[in-house]
Structure 1
Amino acid sequence: MFYGADCVVGLLAETDLLAGAIAKHGTYDYTSAVSGDDDWRRPVIAPWVEPVPSRRKSPLWDADRIDAPLLLFAGGADDAHPAEQSRRLYTHLARQGADVTLYTYPELGGSVYTPPETVLDRLERTEQWLTTRRTEGTDE
């Protein structure tokens, strides 16, 4: 099973379809995502039981192929998609010189409710990130 953030990062690694991407609250390494997942409906196969599927669906393992800009958002109190997942992806991409940005909101969990000030902050940061990359790609 794949989810939004995981899919978009996977697309960056597997294809040249996207000029850049924005991902929030993602799981990027399923080999380390066994504990902390509070969604009991999601089937989780322990990586020591089935290592190949866990690795295959983990965009972190293919991050060396990502060369498009990536903006990541994470919640520090998110048990379903721990911020450590985003930090690992960010660190890997930054070390290879990729255009990657990470914002972490320490008190934000994975619930549906997001405080309005966090939503506004995320929108402002997204607009700034998109504007910067649009301007860099023009001859102005």
Structure 2
Amino acid sequence: MADTIINKFGKMQGWNAITFNILGRDVEGITSFSYTDAEEKENVYGAGKYPIGRGSGNYTAEVSATFYKEEYDAIQAVLPTGKRIQDIEPFDVIVMYEDQSGAIKKDIVRNVEFTGRGVEASQNDKTLAYEAELVCSHIDWNVVI
């Protein structure tokens, strides 16, 4: 009788396995983080009904994060007087994941900048969080540590 593996991946990676580092410090006041990239691709046609090749276009990368107001305030506090969060020079965001074996996987979101900042509050809110307006140039996936 063959061995049955209930979960072939073992312990799954989750939010508690992520370390989010910005400007040299691990960020704790973050509630969500997302990054994606894509490259335009399309079929190229010639004679007949099937593609004869494929063309590619621009690369795009997107990043988003939601921070508690206290985290925004902590980032703002290290800036010189009169500077806004949008004035921070482009920086890399290092995201590390620990897998079941204890190995660390690392992605780097490159040249991130804040493009805006705000506050949203509603009646009976227990915390104040706001999705950051961010821009990045590209993402390096599975970087060797």
TM norm structure 2? 0.22
Greater Cα radius of gyration, structure 1 or 2? 2
Kindly indicate which of the two structures has a greater share of residues assigned to helix: 1
Kindly indicate which of the two structures has a greater share of residues assigned to strand: 2
